[in-house]
Amino acid sequence: MSFQVIITRDFEQMSKVAADLVTENIQRVLKAKDSFTLGLATGNSPTGLYKYLAKAANEGSFDSTKIRSFNLDEYVGLPGENAQQRALHPESYSFFMIQELFGLLNKKFKETNVPWGTLIDQEKLIEALRANPADWQEQGADKGKAVVINPQAKSDYLKWVRQAILDAYEEKILKNGGIDLHIIGVGGRGHVAFHESGIPFEGNGMLLVKLDENTVENAVTDGHFASRQESPSYAVSMGAELVYKARTVVLLANGARKTEPIAESLLNDPTPLVPISYGKMYAKQGGQMIYVLDRAAAEKVLQNAEAIRQQGIEIKDIG
């Protein structure tokens, strides 16, 4: 099993260590083939890594024109009259990636992909779901639910969402040989992207997710959207099953809010209630799993280091 936990001092060191790992992986793979497929996350945790990664590319450490990227997730229902306006909304993950990574590169990636959630008209989606209850089912044990559209859905709109938005994104990843290295973060309840706590691992490569009402309300309270009506109610996301098909997964976590889910994922058996715990199964099946944590996120890892090491997980404290 290849599972390593690297504990760093703070956000800055976490970001530098993770960026060095990613850069070394890119350099190694590009010696063997002519392109590299990189999986990307949004959120605060990878922002420092992205700055270091762009710096490495701009200094010639690797050829960024040989990189193809696939992001984890994107909102459905962003404000805007059309898909282009929604994709360029300041809260879209497409816009985030331009600000935090793509726009910092002197030589751009050969191709970038963000899940095509902005192509979906949220009002049409809600109308189709209401009118065709036999075409879909909800999955999940908690408030955030996966909306699983039947392959043989009678609604043309729902069938289009499944085939052209969800299945096509996964198929494009596989057509390009899969993801060489995936950068991910972790939510406060152990979720990855919008694969929320309680959504099953299996059979969920790409997800349409109905967001928890608290998530929607918090987005307004935190100032991301002006009103409940402007805040998206759905998202498109890779599921854990697809995320952990990458050859290497680098998980970043910083801050005390991540302490519990990080410890749970390492100490306990894998469970859909803590989606990142899928990493244990992934490592046992031959994947390379690397956690890079700051000291706050690693507090309970350090307290339970022996129990974690007994499971074959390496802990390296460099802080």
Instruction: Spell out the domain ranges in the chain.
Output: 2-317
- How much is the pLDDT for 220? 81
pTM (2 d.p.): 0.95
Q: Where are the beta strands (DSSP E) in the chain?
A: 2-7, 36-40, 67-71, 73-76, 111-113, 136-139, 145-149, 181-184, 206-210, 234-238, 248-253, 288-293, 314-317
For the segment 63-90, the average pLDDT, to the nearest whole number, is: 95
Per-residue pLDDT tens for 13-53?
A: 999 999 999 999 999 999 999 999 999 999 999 999 999 99
Q: Is residue 219 pLDDT above 80, yes or no?
A: no
- How much is the pLDDT for 213? 80
- How much is the pLDDT for 212? 81
For the segment 48-69, the average pLDDT, to the nearest whole number, is: 98
Pairwise CA distance, residues 91 & 87, whole Å: 9
- For 285, phi then psi, to 5°, come to -90, 5
Pairwise CA distance, residues 259 & 42, whole Å: 19
Rg (CA), the chain: 19
Local confidence band at 226 (pLDDT 50, 70, 90 cut-offs): confident
- How much is the pLDDT for 298? 98
- How much is the pLDDT for 215? 74
DSSP for 190-231, please give it: S-BTTB-TT--STT-SEEEEEPPHHHHHHHHHTTSSSSTTTS
For the segment 114-128, the average pLDDT, to the nearest whole number, is: 97
With contact defined as beta carbons under 8 Å apart, do 214 and 71 qualify? no
Per-residue pLDDT tens for 283-300?
A: 999 999 999 999 999 999
Q: 181 has which bridge partners? A: 38, 248
Local confidence band at 310 (pLDDT 50, 70, 90 cut-offs): very high
- How much is the pLDDT for 187? 87
Local confidence band at 188 (pLDDT 50, 70, 90 cut-offs): confident
Per-residue pLDDT tens for 227-262?
A: 888 889 999 999 999 999 999 999 999 999 999 999
Mean pLDDT taken over the chain: 95
Pairwise CA distance, residues 139 & 145, whole Å: 6
Distance of CA 208 to the CA centre of its chain: 14
CATH number for 2-317 (one of 3.40.228.10, 3.40.50.2000, 3.40.50.1360, 1.10.10.10): it is 3.40.50.1360
For the segment 59-75, the average pLDDT, to the nearest whole number, is: 98
Distance of CA 74 to the CA centre of its chain: 10
Structure token digits, residue 17: 């260590």
